[in-house]
Structure 1
């Protein structure tokens, strides 16, 4: 794969396209009755809301009917990759015996790899990460090659080991990107900040990797240049917060949070439709 191809691994290819997917997230993944889901569903069993055409029967009313978890999920393009490339457009409903089970096992593996593609692509776009360009491009090339493995090899893949290798590069990228932020930079990696009162907090250049920010009040917080990889932002209040230049923030994280028209976002992300319209 050429470097030019590597640099274009973004946009539509790394976002879910339900039109080219056989509803894999609605079948392969399990969920439990909770604030996010209205009922229990084991892995491999179709959601009762999944129609025969692989579309959601309650798509426009998911939040109102207790399926908020569905509205904040994105496969990073893994669904269409598995459906159209790995299995060559063969529907799990009509495919050979055993293929459906294999497809459901492959999907979460490719989803993890596609999430890594998203992070690596973003890292390559950060000017501060230029010293790591060669390593990042090689990791991107290798990750893309892994997504193209045959189904049996994908099922057997130690994706955790690959994630750990990539994370070394992403951590170094974070250090370089945050070094340009003046002043003391907070290190809140993995911190328990559930429900924390962080209104107006200065979190410029902070590392919030894997932090638990569930229902945290980040109203008006300054998160410019912060590393948010893996941060749990479910129901976090980002009203009027400044996320300009924040990196390794994904659309699913943003969709799980609350915000406003005054919340400033990285250019690569879109304002969730359910956010309030206050300015």
Structure 2
């Protein structure tokens, strides 16, 4: 009897705006800057939001100074809260649920990011000794995300505790994945803003939490590099190889510059605004 293929959990961690109530367009605040053309308070609908929960200027976000919208990804939190948490009800139909809905959205977004990292770690052969613990951690995070929305608003401490436990496990997994590159740079949390790293051999480097804003990484080899929480805003990734970089998520890459020569993990879609 044929065995059913195991579905990568990251398939569920992809935004489906058609099943959401535009939570990112109302719950989140932003300030006028190079990323946003105007100020918006949290809980206030964006002035570009239409009655059908679609963005009126979606095709022109970048030319209109709303680049920040193109780099955000809820990792599936929006449809989870809208469809699972509230059964398809929306804040517009029932304003009384708005505060709970928006609070749950923020919590589930954090939990879904953790689930993405855990899925990446368990997908690696090198982490086989930790697969049991990684899967157990994923189940714990899933259970937390599945709580009723009203409970989710109040679980900040539990979410933080689960995050700390998962972080420790993800660091162990990172060490196993990068073990074949013992002399690779260890620049976790380093200030590499504007760094000149064009063509650099960064295979197996620990760049977790590194500030790489505006860094020149053209043609750099970032295979098996740990990029968890690395800030890649404005970084130049044209021609770089991130084909099996560790802990990469879509928003990181969307905030960077890349092109059709940039090699990405198979789980990450190429940002449409890359040239």
State TM-score, norm by structure 1.
0.94
Q: How far apart, in 2, do the equivalents of 1:6 and 1:261 lie?
A: 30
1:15 equivalent in structure 2:
14
* Structure 1 residue 98, shift from structure 2 partner: 2.7
Q: Residue 178 of structure 1 contacts residue 226 of structure 1 at CA under 8 Å; is this kept in 2?
A: yes
Segments of 4+ in structure 1 off by > 4 A? 4-7
2:72 equivalent in structure 1:
73
1:175 equivalent in structure 2:
175
Residues 1-279 of structure 1 mapped to structure 2, 5 A cutoff: 8-11=8-11, 13-95=12-94, 97-157=95-155, 158=157, 159-181=159-181, 184-276=183-275
Deviations 1:236-270 (A, max 9, x none): 00111111211101111111111122111212112
* Structure 1 residue 39, shift from structure 2 partner: 0.7
* Structure 1 residue 5, shift from structure 2 partner: 11
* Structure 1 residue 10, shift from structure 2 partner: 2.0
Q: Residue 236 of structure 1 contacts residue 257 of structure 1 at CA under 8 Å; is this kept in 2?
A: yes
Deviations 1:57-90 (A, max 9, x none): 1000000001101001110100000000111111
Q: How far apart, in 1, do the equivalents of 2:271 and 2:109 lie?
A: 22
Q: How far apart, in 2, do the equivalents of 1:60 and 1:256 lie?
A: 17
**Aligned residue pair count:** 270
* Structure 1 residue 164, shift from structure 2 partner: 0.7
Q: How far apart, in 1, do the equivalents of 2:125 and 2:52 lie?
A: 44
Q: Residue 6 of structure 1 contacts residue 137 of structure 1 at CA under 8 Å; is this kept in 2?
A: no
- Structure 1 residues without counterparts, runs of 5 or longer: none
* Structure 1 residue 143, shift from structure 2 partner: 0.6
Provide the alpha-carbon RMSD of the alignment: 1.5
Q: How far apart, in 2, do the equivalents of 1:7 and 1:152 lie?
A: 30
- Structure 2 residues without counterparts, runs of 5 or longer: none
- 3-state SS of paired residue (2:15): coil
Q: How far apart, in 1, do the equivalents of 2:261 and 2:146 lie?
A: 41
Q: How far apart, in 2, do the equivalents of 1:88 and 1:274 lie?
A: 34
Q: Residue 7 of structure 1 contacts residue 121 of structure 1 at CA under 8 Å; is this kept in 2?
A: no
Q: How far apart, in 2, do the equivalents of 1:263 and 1:227 lie?
A: 17
